[in-house]
Structure 1
Amino acid sequence: MTKTYYNHINGEWLSSKTGETYSSINPANKEEVLGVFQRSDERDVELAIESAENAFLEWSKTPAPKRGDVIFNLINLLEDQKESLATIITKEVGKSFREAHGEVRKTIEAMKQFSGEATRLTGETAPSQDSDIFAYTIREPLGVVGVIAPYNFPLGIGIWKIAPAIIAGNTVVFKPASNTSLISVKIIELFEKAGVPAGVINMVTGPGSVIGGAIGNNPKIKAVSFTGSTDVGLALGRSVTKRGAKMQAEMGGKNPAIILEDADIDKALDSIVVSGFLDNGQRCTGTSRLIVPKSIAKEVTDKLVDRARSLKIGEGFGENVDNGPVIDENQLNTYLHYVSVSLDEGAKLAYGGKQLMDNGRDKGFFVEPTVFTNVTKDMTIFREEIFGPVIAIIEVESYDEAIELANDSDFGLSSTVYTNDLQKAFHFVRNIQSGVTHVNMPSTYFENQFPFGGKKESSIGPREQGSTALDFWTDYKTVYMKP
């Protein structure tokens, strides 16, 4: 019998006011239901906000280092449960067990960094113009905040949004992606075991348009951190900021990679496979535009097609599986739509482009890693995020044209260049319009001790992670003291 899971409000597991539920399924086998969850509405959000409000006074007065102890405790819990957590991620997201393990590992690394931030919640002192005045600043929590997490890294992103929010002294209303609700229940259980008091973190499941809207429009929510599509993030940002609250959004990307003639092409393509194909391209930082000089375009294309052909696509627990299925039928249809549009607009399909239905894969949402050539800047595949394992190859005459095309996008999240020319590497870093950039590395590479975020329509508000992680979650208070 399939287990039913509930909202988490004030330390208790509660049914939704609606009495309605939905299921989370295994995308590798859509006949397998992983759990039944609450299809909540605005009334449940109100209850969660009330719980968070009641918990805020005591939690905000808890010394920051003691709040940090919770995150330190979380590290050991994640270590102890890494196998079971990776198993749930593979079943619910569809990614390979190897990649699921990687997500748990990155989450642990993030918590090692965040646990120390509680002792670095610092202000500053500066000399006053009056010798009798002592002046300084302190950082204070905002109040009740909202966290809206995506499906592609449900454990990692969920936790690394919640952790700095509560370290700063805020209380949280958490809305996970509906198709990764099971791992989100585990997030709540982990925080409870780590010592988070009742009401500090509350979780409400249900449709994004309903729950996200209720969080975005409620004046009691002082800040919202969101990761997801650009269209949704921009709309949510307008709702949040028009009432004077703070908004942080990490959204879409159409991330470019440039391979120059002097690069080690084989090593470059090893990175392109990691950043463009693995996890089925369901990464906001994934490489989707590959820009190459015409002189090496054929070699790059042939070798990339060979690598795409060699990838093993199957159920995530299979031996040596590189990619599992995409997350759901909607994402499958999105992939197929962009393949069709690209062909209609004149792009050439070099490899892939179809759903895989053999060897039991008809039960899930499996797709081929896909390579398009003859792509021009006026094509949809050059402009719009697909969030699938699709790489568009664009040929150029020069490095100057390459970087011009790389910057020709509404997005500006991540980027990378492959070259052994130090001068061009530095020029690229200075001139590329992205919040994260790389030289001779996958566009998906990141470390949690550094700030993460994009430019243009890829991000709103202060950066996540790193030394800036607490900036979004706190306000400064300036104090002038005269004895």
Structure 2
Amino acid sequence: MTQTRNLSHYLGGAWTASTGDEWIVDHNPSDVRDIVANTPRGTPDDAHAAVHAAEQAQAGWRSLSGPARAEHLHRWAAVMAEQQEALAQAMTREVGKPIGESRGEAARCVAILRYYAGEAVRNIGDVIPAQTATALQFSLREPLGVVLLITPWNFPAAIPMWKAAPAIAFGNTVVLKPAESASHVATLLAETAHAAGLPAGVFNVVLGSGAVLGPALLHAPAVRGVSFTGSSAVGAQI
């Protein structure tokens, strides 16, 4: 067994204690004596703080050029590549994946970041042929703003990155609410983002129960998009 971590939210580029005082105990499924982490049972105030951090960062992030955002994603991918083995070991310990599958998932995270770094430099609109010679028709894609990501335990790194990388590449800021039993891996993703110098508030992680955090996050006026992976019942509620 290895060390038990007391986790914190990652909000606005800083590790932030919960405003509540309750904890969720996160066990290693292959050895329930091994406590992987104590996860804060986040409060509605924590949810509001996460959305506020993302909202504060959004204007500055969307104002960057595609190549500038791409450079941030390339740096994040480089740090993720350095931490691949540690991330894989943490996945296996927290959610019980075979280590080979965890290593594949960690490598996939690096590939996702690199792919969307490339996508960030592509055209953000189209010129459309017009029937009138003097007319110019065009489309322009703009970021939504703050995007909420709600993710499950079974792919605790790849699914968050599948959602976060494209959102961030195209000028959105994100709030990630991971499954309670995948909280440690989510904080490791935040650690790599922080180490890569991703601007504060672009990627935020709030931890706790979906029943408590979900309504506060979903009803926040600043949240302009939601990406959810989970049960049909919860999806219907969202």
Structure-to-structure mapping, 1:364-375, within 5 angstroms: none
Q: 2:128 aligns with which of 120, 126, 129?
A: 126
Q: Structure 2 residue aligned with 1:68, among 60, 70, 75? A: 70
Match of 1:83 in 2: 85
What is the identity, as a one-letter code, of the residue corresponding to 1:58? G
Is residue 112–residue 165 contact of structure 2 (8 Å, CA) maintained in 1? no
CA distance in 2, matches of 1:191, 1:132: 47
Structure 1 segment 380-459 matched on structure 2, within 5 A? none
Aligned to 2:108: 106
The corresponding residue for 2:179 is 177
| Matches of 1:25 and 1:136, distance apart in 2 | 53
TM-superposed CA distance for 1:112, in Å, is 2.8
The structure 1 residue matched to 2:192, chosen from 170, 181, 190, is 190
Deviations 1:12-50 (A, max 9, x none): 111111122222111111111111121112111111111
3-state SS of paired residue (1:19) = coil
Contact 2:11 2:50 in 1 (8 A): yes
Cα pair distance change 1:121/1:174, threshold 3 Å: farther
> TM (normalized to structure 1)?
0.47
Structure 1 Cα separation of the partners of residues 86 and 208 of structure 2: 24
Distance 2:77 2:168 in 1: 15
Out of 172-181 and 109-118, give the one that drifted further. Answer: 109-118
- Give the Cα–Cα distance (whole angstroms) in 1 for the partners of residues 82 and 195 of structure 2: 12
1:225 aligned partner: 227
Report the alpha carbon displacement of residue 135 of structure 1 after superposing the two structures with TM.
2.4
Q: CA deviation at 1:5?
A: 1.4
Q: Does 1:204 align with 2:216?
A: no
Letter in 1 for 2:38: V
C-alpha distance in 2 between matches for 1:117 and 1:104: 20
Aligned match of 1:340:
none
Taking the aligned partners of 1:73 and 1:220, their CA distance within structure 2 comes to 28
Residue 77 of structure 1 contacts residue 190 of structure 1 at CA under 8 Å; is this kept in 2? yes
Amino acid in structure 1 at the alignment position of 2:19? K
- Measured in 2, the distance between the counterparts of 1:180 and 1:60 equals 29
Contact 1:121-1:168 at 8 Å conserved across structures: no
Which deviations, in whole Å up to 9, do the C-alpha atoms of 1:335-380 show, x marking residues without a partner?
A: xxxxxxxxxxxxxxxxxxxxxxxxxxxxxxxxxxxxxxxxxxxxxx
Alignment of structure 1 residues 227-376 onto 2, 5 Å? 227-236=229-238
Q: Answer whether contact 1:52 1:171 (CA < 8 A) is retained.
A: yes
What displacement does 1:121 show?
A: 4.2
Residue aligning to 2:51: 49
Question: Are residue 7 (structure 1) and residue 9 (structure 2) matched?
Answer: yes
State how far apart, in whole Å, the 2-side matches of 1:144 and 1:167 are.
13
Percent identity reads 36
Bigger relative CO (Cα 8 Å, ≥ 6 apart): 2
Distance 1:15 1:121 in 2: 40
The alpha carbon displacement at 1:7 in A equals: 0.7
Which one has the bigger helix percentage?
Answer: 2
Distance 2:4 2:87 in 1: 19
Q: What is the identity, as a one-letter code, of the residue corresponding to 1:122? A: I
Equivalence for 1:37:
39
SS of equivalent residue, structure 2 residue 67? helix
For 2:192, give the aligned amino acid: L
Match of 1:158 in 2: 160
Structure label with greater radius of gyration: 1
CA–CA separation in structure 1 for the residues paired with 2:7 and 2:51: 20
CA drift of 1:123 comes to 0.9
Unaligned runs of at least 5 residues, structure 2: none
Give 1:224 shift: 0.4
Question: CA separation in 2, counterparts of 1:64 and 1:117?
Answer: 9
* Structure 1 contact 154–184 (Cα < 8 Å) conserved: yes
Is the 2:79–2:196 contact (alpha carbons within 8 Å) kept by the matching residues of 1?
yes
Q: Tell me which amino acid in the other structure corresponds to 1:73.
A: R
Q: CA deviation at 1:58?
A: 0.6
Q: CA RMSD in A?
A: 1.5
Dislocated runs of 4+, deviation >6 Å: none
Conserved in 1, the CA contact under 8 Å of 2:145 and 2:172? yes
**Counterparts in 2 of 1:137 and 1:57: CA distance versus 1, 3 Å:** same
Q: Describe how 1:17-28 pairs up with structure 2 within 5 A.
A: 17-28=19-30
Maintained 8 Å contact 2:76/2:198? no
Q: 1:140 aligns with which of 129, 139, 142?
A: 142
Stretches of structure 1 lacking an aligned partner (at least 5 in a row): 237-483
Distance of 1:146 and 1:121 partners within structure 2 = 25
Deviation at 1:153, TM superposition (A): 0.6
Work out the number of aligned pairs and report it: 236
Separation in structure 2 between the aligned mates of residue 142 and residue 121 of structure 1, nearest angstrom: 17
The answer (yes or no) to whether the contact 2:51–2:220 under 8 Å persists in 1 is no
1:121·1:139 contact (CA, 8 Å) conserved in 2?
A: no
Shift of the alpha carbon at 1:109?
2.5
